[in-house]
Homo-oligomer: A and B are copies of this chain.
Amino acid sequence: MTEKVHENQRQRAPSQRSLATRDRIFDAAEHLFADRGFEGASIRDIARAAGVQGALVSHHGGSKEALFATVVTRRAQELARLRQDALAQAKAEGPLTLRRILTCFIAPFIDKTLNGGAAWSAYGRLIAHVSSDVRWQHIAQSCFDPTVRVFLAEIAAILPESSQQKISTHFVFMVSAMLSLCTSRWRIAGLADSDPPQDAAGDLAADLTAHLLAFCEAGFRS
């Protein structure tokens, strides 16, 4: 079999260089969409940040909407896997508690977005846009709802007296609070009249995760 393939089959795999360029474009798009929203980030901005020409952004990302969806989807799979792996491990280690279920959902996200580097930090803010704008409902449904439904079912088993409506409402409260750690830490710092807590005092992500978990577990049990 030669390197040549039938015309209706896929072309040969993209080169290393092409893949690297594509990832630079997606990283730049992720960062700018996160910071300035869908309309606030222009293709030109993204191209400049990635160090390429505008036409190349369209080549790799398609239309601007397709690029947005691609960038959101890109890390969603890894995040879903982290969460479901954590849940599977928690199940293997003993009977599930509400706290353990919520931890499996929140801890991977906070760990990545606060300790996972600039790209994951931007991704957290990007998801906040998706979660608060009905225009991206289709993305939320395909990227996040399947995993969320798994967690909702586990919570419902722990809290049999709570209606599905109530559990779903509380879950959205929890997600909103979680995302506020990506979008609104400036607000917390401003209200606390203190500098944002430095890593000097320890693991910021662990502290915030514990805070958030305590808040939400109590809320679910209310």
A residues with a Cβ closer than 8 A to B are 36-40, 128, 131-134, 137, 140-141, 145, 148-149, 152, 164-166, 168-173, 175-177, 179-180, 183-184, 186-188, 190-194, 197, 208, 211-212, 214-222
Contact = CB atoms under 8 A, between A and B. Distances in A.
A165 B39 contact: no
B173 A191 contact: no
Contact of A176 (B164, B168, B184): B184
Q: Is the interface of A mostly helix, strand, loop or mixed?
A: helix
B180 A211 contact: no
Nearest to A137: B186
A132 B132 contact: yes
- Copy total for this chain: 2
A191 B40 contact: no
Contact of A218 (B165, B193, B221): B221
Of A131, A187, A211, which is in contact with the most chain B CB atoms at under 10 Å from its CB? A187
Nearest to A191: B168
A133 to B, nearest CB: 7
Contacts of A145: 190-191
Given A132-B180, A137-B187, A218-B222, 13 more contacts: A37-B38, A128-B132, A152-B191, A165-B192, A168-B188, A169-B208, A169-B211, A170-B215, A172-B187, A172-B191, A175-B180, A214-B222, A218-B219
Contacts of A211: 166, 169-170
Contact of A183 (B132, B152, B193, B212): B132
Contacts of A175: 180
Contacts of A137: 186-187, 190
A105 to B, nearest CB: 13
